[in-house]
Amino acid sequence: MSPFILAAVLAFASFTTHLPADDDPIVKKARKIHKQVLTLDTHADAPIMMQQPGFDVGVAHDTKRDQSQIDFPRMKQGGMDAMFFAVYTSQGPRTDSGHAEAKRNALNQFDLIHKALKKYPNLAELATSPADAYRIKKAGKRAVFIGMENGYPIGNDLAMLKTYYDLGCRYITLTHFANNLIGDSSTDPDGPIYGGLSDFGKKVVPEMNRLGILIDVSHVADSTFYDALALSKAPVIASHSNCRALCDFPRNMTDDMIRAIAAKGGVVQVNFVSDYLKKPSDAHRAAKTKIRMSRVGKVATPDMETRIAAQSDSVSKLYASERASLSDIADHIDHIVKLVGIDHAGIGSDFDGGGGVNGLEDVSQIENLTAELVRRKYSEADIAKIWGGNLLRVLGQAKVAQ
């Protein structure tokens, strides 16, 4: 997840990209498949917008005007059956006060999700299992799973895992853009401090296995990745990561890492963040990294967020020509499938957190990706696995007997 304010991501986007005319045979086939399969997105930052005063996830919004990519009506419009809403906290100080604030923030986001579902019971429902997802789709509603991006709100209290699980959390991204008490991040500007998982992190992973919370290795350092993979008794996921072979960035998975996830039965969920799909120029990446890291280790304030939004908007305008496309997303899916097979690829858009490319601007347009997969000769069975079947298989294996 990129923490940039969505205004920057959408600054120069095209908001009129839709599928071709209905008489196109590929479109006809894609539309039929899209209605049949269960579509699931493992990483949606809707809670970022839900924290904004006056934002209502049960009402349709305009992508450009409202700087939002997700709401229940647009999920229905696009045929998005299920999404993991990510409870995201940026990495602040590794102190008692920092962890207390992170816990408060996380619990507030859980509360916002539950209140929205209570307010709109005819539109959406909480899902915590594969069976829930299929049942809710059959009822014509949206299934909302909950994940947690960044283990920061766990602090040093292992019991918080049970608290978050009971609130519906079914995966936790161990780290974010900087190191926390669980382990090293792939992008901490100060470098590693543990050489992988910390001693506390080596307790977190088995407890997540015991409870049935998926281990998410997006954002973690390579050393943390291999420690977590070796320690977990359940398959692991990368909830929103791409292929380093196609876009060389430490947030992405190397081919060896993708093979290791597959060997353990897990899945890599491709995201829609341009920076991780298509290698930007060195100047563009340096500008984005400087802005991204200006947040690390600090408690967020409105003034800081306003300043970062303005800086991000300027950078996006300057480098608009480098934005990735729908085809780039499919290229990363192709790479995973060719490398380890159809059973280990999925989709984690990162909408509302930096996701969005030319041809796929918000959740209402996800059928465009199904059409691209049809163009690339994927079968309905293949598309069903990519769009949700693989992830739900792994979720069903998350709980491990001790």
CATH number of the domain at 348, please. 3.20.20.140
pLDDT at 385: 98
Domain span holding position 223: 6-395
Q: Determine the pLDDT at residue 23.
A: 77
- The reply to whether 402 falls in a domain is no
Q: Which residue has the tokens 């081919």?
A: 255
How far apart CA 14 and CA 326 sit, in angstroms, is 12
Domain assignment present for residue 400? The answer is no
State the maximum Cα–Cα separation within the chain, in Å, rounded to a whole number: 61
Nearest to 117 by CA among 68, 160, 56, 51: 56
Taking only the tens place, the pLDDT of each residue in 59-111 is 999 998 999 999 999 999 999 999 999 999 999 999 999 999 999 999 999 99
- Counted residue by residue, the chain has a size of 402
Tell whether the model's pLDDT for residue 1 goes beyond 90: no
Would you place residue 317 in the very low, low, confident or very high pLDDT band (cuts 50, 70, 90)?
Answer: low
Average pLDDT on 285-303 reads 62
Residue 57 near residue 116 (C-beta atoms within 8 A):
yes
- Number of domains composing the chain: 1
Residue 167 counted as domain residue: yes
Portion of the chain with pLDDT greater than 70, in percent: 84
- Asked, for residue 270, whether it belongs to a domain, the answer is yes
pLDDT at 268 over 70: yes
Is position 1 within any domain?
A: no
- Asked if pLDDT for residue 289 goes beyond 90, the answer is no
Each residue's pLDDT tens digit, 176-209: 999 999 999 999 999 999 999 999 999 999 999 9
Evaluate if residue 162 carries a pLDDT over 60. Answer: yes
Q: What's the average model confidence in pLDDT over 313-323?
A: 60
> In this predicted structure, what is the pLDDT of residue 300?
58
The answer to whether the beta carbons of residues 172 and 238 sit under 8 Å apart is: no
Confidence grade of residue 365 (pLDDT, cut at 50, 70, 90) = very high
Question: What is the band of 5 on the pLDDT scale with cuts at 50, 70, 90?
Answer: very low
DSSP assignment of 43-89: EE-HHHHHTSTT--TTS---HHHHT----HHHHHHHT--EEEEEEE-
Which pLDDT belongs to residue 3? 42
Closest CA to 31 of 20, 43, 42: 20
Whether residue 13 is predicted with pLDDT greater than 80 in this model: the reply is no
Supply the pLDDT for residue 312. Answer: 57
The band of 313, judged by pLDDT with boundaries at 50, 70 and 90, is: low
**In this predicted structure, what is the pLDDT of residue 9?**
43
Cβ within 8 Å of residue 143, ≥6 positions away: 40, 81, 82, 83, 124, 125, 127, 132, 133, 136, 137
Is 226 exposed, middle or buried, given 0-12, 13-18 or 19+ CB atoms closer than 10 A? middle
Strands 169-173 and 142-149: parallel
pLDDT higher for 309 or 386? 386
pLDDT at residue 326, rounded to an integer? 97
How confident is the model at residue 205, as a pLDDT? Answer: 98
Q: How far is CA 33 from the centre of its chain?
A: 23
What's the chain's average pLDDT?
90
Contacts of 37 (CB under 8 A, 6+ apart): 380, 383, 384, 387, 388, 389
On whether the CB atoms of residues 237 and 215 are closer than 8 A, the answer is yes
Convert the pLDDT of each residue in 366-375 to its tens digit. Answer: 999 999 999 9
Report d(CA 374, CA 77) in Å as an integer. 20
Structure-model confidence comparison of residues 19 and 302, the more confident one: 302
Taking the CB of residue 296, how many other CB atoms lie within 10 A of it? 19
* Residue 92 belongs to some domain of the structure: yes
Per-residue pLDDT, 283: 67
Confidence grade of residue 279 (pLDDT, cut at 50, 70, 90): confident
